[in-house]
Amino acid sequence: MQKAWLYEEYGPKEVLKMGDFPLPVLQHDQLLVQVRAAALNPIDFKWRQQVIFPSGLPIVPGCDMAGIVADIAPGVSKFKVGDEVYGNIQDFNAPEKWKQLGTLAEYVAVEENLVALKPDNLSFEEAGSLPLALQTALEGFETANFEAGQSMFIVGGAGGVGTLVVQLAKHYFGASRVVATCSSSKVEFVKSLGADVVIDYTTTKYEEIAEKFDFVYDTIGDSKNSSVVAKEEAPVVDITWPPTNPKAKFSSLTVRGGILERLKPHLESGKIKAVIDPTGPYHFNDVMEAFRHLETGRARGKVVVSSFPSSTSVCDPSPNFGAPVGRDADP
């Protein structure tokens, strides 16, 4: 058994508790990873609030992680025991593969195609903050067929996805002009990420913005209103489902380690940086506090959890330790 945060019924954060959860038995093409850091995402508490998992309860929440490979199953060819890796372990396009054992646990099992080698210059906390948000941010640009030299308007430039959208726009996709919204206390911070202009949404309404943009990227689900700043026929991408504007494009999510590998040079050079909410990283014992902060909707960057119980233990490389988890021993 291992220590994990789990819930045995759906509901508010109060259903979470720390307890024992079986170690996973590896399936073909999977890695066993000793988790060193994990990030929380809105989907983690949204899944907790509705009956959704095909494998049943209890469920360990968490999609993002960074850690050390403790074991490998037959079929794994890209990684070896001892490698430092990071990734989003939940393949959202394959609900039948959603894992009952998420990343708020000492060890997780994950398919090798979902993870990548951690950039050497990133801490486990920094790497663990990136996968889901970085994959989401990148896919929004591709959904819009964004081209270098275009202008863009970003709704929610200080959030977990928004901080990366700003950086990708300026330092990866070559946007000619980047305008983003945030609250007044975060204006200078969003400017430091690369935004040319930052608008305080608490004092300025969309209708008051005269400029029109080639692309509107809405990270908070306000496309019904934010679309007014788009040029005629310009794409509006909304990463929430369903979009509040029926004409907005919903950006789904491709979860692959290759996406992280693609951006590795920009992470290593520091052009794209991980942004961890200044209230964290939270200790593994303080996951309830981490969720409480995340659910306020006011986090700056990503809410990260580290100091896992296994962080100071020695990984057990035995290929057969653990017990079946969930359906057909699929963790």
Report the DSSP beta bridge partners of residue 71: 32
pLDDT at position 319 over 50 = no
Express each pLDDT in 244-262 by its tens digit.
999 999 988 889 999 999 9
**Paired tokens of 163:** 């901080």
- Tell me what pLDDT residue 316 has: 46
Q: What are the structural domains of the chain?
A: 2-130+275-329 (3.90.180.10), 133-250 (3.40.50.720)
Distance, CA of 2 to CA of 242 (rounded, Å)? 37
- Tell me what pLDDT residue 26 has: 97
Structure letter (DSSP) for residue 148? T
Express each pLDDT in 104-113 by its tens digit.
999 999 999 9
The three-class DSSP label of residue 132 is helix
Structure letter (DSSP) for residue 240? S
pLDDT at position 219 over 50 = yes
Express each pLDDT in 42-64 by its tens digit.
999 999 998 777 678 999 999 99
Give the amino acid at 18: M
Average pLDDT over residues 210-225: 97
Q: Residue 54: is the preceding peptide bond cis (ω within 30°)?
A: no
Please count the residues of the chain: 331
Structure letter (DSSP) for residue 8? S
Q: Which residues of 291-311 are buried (b: 16+ CB within 10 A; e: fewer)?
A: bebbbeeebbbbbbbbebebb
Average pLDDT over residues 305-322: 60
pLDDT at position 5 over 60 = yes
Distance, CA of 67 to CA of 143 (rounded, Å)? 31
Considering the entire predicted model, what is its pTM?
Answer: 0.91
Distance in angstroms between the alpha carbons of the first and the last residue of the chain: 13
Express each pLDDT in 161-189 by its tens digit.
999 999 999 999 999 999 999 999 999 99
Residue 93's pLDDT band (cuts 50, 70, 90): confident
- Tell me what pLDDT residue 317 has: 42
Neighbouring residues of 233: CB distance < 8 A, sequence distance ≥ 6: none
Distance, CA of 213 to CA of 178 (rounded, Å)? 9
- Tell me what pLDDT residue 54 has: 67
Please name the residue that has the structure tokens 């206390």: 185
pLDDT at position 325 over 50 = no
Average pLDDT over residues 29-49: 96
pLDDT at position 115 over 80 = yes
Neighbouring residues of 139: CB distance < 8 A, sequence distance ≥ 6: 251, 252, 253, 254
pLDDT at position 196 over 90 = yes
Is the separation of the CB atoms in 31 and 73 below 8 Å? yes
pLDDT at position 324 over 70 = no
Closest C-alpha among 91, 199, 216, 67 to residue 141 = 216
